[in-house]
Amino acid sequence: MDWGIQNRLNRLIQKDGRALFLPIDHGYFQGPTRKLEKPGETIKPLIQYADAIMLTRGVLRNCVDPAIPKPIILRVSGGNSVVGEDLSNEGQITSINEILRLNASAVSMSIYVGSKHEHQTLLNFASLVDQCEDYGIPVMAVTAVGRELEKRTARYLALCARIAAELGAQVVKTYYCEENFEKVINGCPVPVVIAGGPKVDTALEVFEFVYDGIQKGAIGVNLGRNVWQHQYPVAMIRAIRGVIHENLNPKEAQQLFEQVKAGKA
Ligand code: 5RP
């Protein structure tokens, strides 16, 4: 692998081979998402526990201090909205010059396998990889399902993850699935991180799926709403960090969560 790509990946993926990415890019198609109305405020108490943050250039420029000590994963696909006709109708929204200007450590782009705009999003993705390879920038594929969350089966996710890697992704973000998640990992030759999806009912559920995903070979998470939409976001991110970087099991993560929540850790 090219030295520059490897160097940037090393900023994102820690020495233990694991990673905790904190995405706050949701506004690019959802607008002022709950608890992300002021993204700069949302991340202030969380940033120290994340290995990288994922966001668009607009939020980066307007809401984040350039002295931020964490690497940036720049979301560079968009052009759609929750009220538009089809969420899969995305294009590249940020040029390679802008990616370099903003000193991104990586970029991310969604692909919509099986959707109306599958072909367009896959070609966009391949083109982005070509542009980024010229400058040593890693590309993370976001395997998006649009509104159809029920698509998240191992068979479908394995298909998306493998296609993303075949097109040149250095990291793949996919969803977790309870059954046969190892099939997704085994068929994907590059590191996989798990997204959280819409907020689930309990903190323990999050620790359980992160833990299981890691046992089955994911290197970590790119997890947003289940952290910053939670009533205790710092306790959430610290417990998730414990699962990822300190090998806590879900019960131990829950204990850490309770301690942080009570101000005892
Ligand atoms: C949305 C994204 C998010 O970065 C990704 O889905 C992870 O966030 P969450 O854990 O909230 O699902 O690509 O645009």
Q: Per residue in 103-149, pLDDT tens?
A: 999 999 999 999 999 999 999 999 999 999 999 999 999 999 866 77
pTM to 2 decimal places: 0.96
pLDDT digits (tens, 9 = 90+) for 157-193: 999 999 999 999 999 999 999 999 999 999 999 999 9
Structural domain includes residue 49: yes
Structural domain includes residue 131: yes
Q: Which of 215, 214, 220, 208 is nearest to 250 (CA)?
A: 208
Structural domain includes residue 247: no
Rounded CA separation 175/43 (Å): 22
- Neighbouring residues of 218: CB distance < 8 A, sequence distance ≥ 6: 176, 181, 185, 192, 193, 194
Of the pLDDT bands very low, low, confident and very high (cuts 50, 70, 90), residue 199 is: confident
The predicted model gives 10-21 an average pLDDT of: 98
Tell me which residue has its CA closest to atom 4 in ligand 1: 23
What is the 121 CA–ligand 1 centroid distance (Å)?
17
Per the structure, the complete domain to which residue 193 belongs is given by 3-231
The predicted pLDDT at position 207 comes to 97
Per-residue pLDDT at 262 exceeds 90: yes
**CB of 23 closer than 6 angstroms to any ligand 1 atom:** yes
Structural domain includes residue 127: yes
Structural domain includes residue 238: no
The predicted pLDDT at position 115 comes to 94
The predicted model gives 83-91 an average pLDDT of: 96
**CB of 223 closer than 6 angstroms to any ligand 1 atom:** yes
The predicted model gives 85-93 an average pLDDT of: 96
Structural domain includes residue 202: yes
The predicted pLDDT at position 223 comes to 97
Query: Which ligand 1 atom is the nearest neighbour of the CA of 222?
Result: 7
The predicted pLDDT at position 147 comes to 67
Number of domains in the chain: 1
Structural domain includes residue 12: yes
Residue 99's φ and ψ, nearest 5 degrees, are -60, -45
Structural domain includes residue 110: yes
What residues are annotated to the active site? 173
Of the pLDDT bands very low, low, confident and very high (cuts 50, 70, 90), residue 261 is: very high
Average pLDDT, whole number, for the chain? Answer: 96
Tell me which residue has its CA closest to atom 14 in ligand 1: 26
CATH code of 198's domain: 3.20.20.70
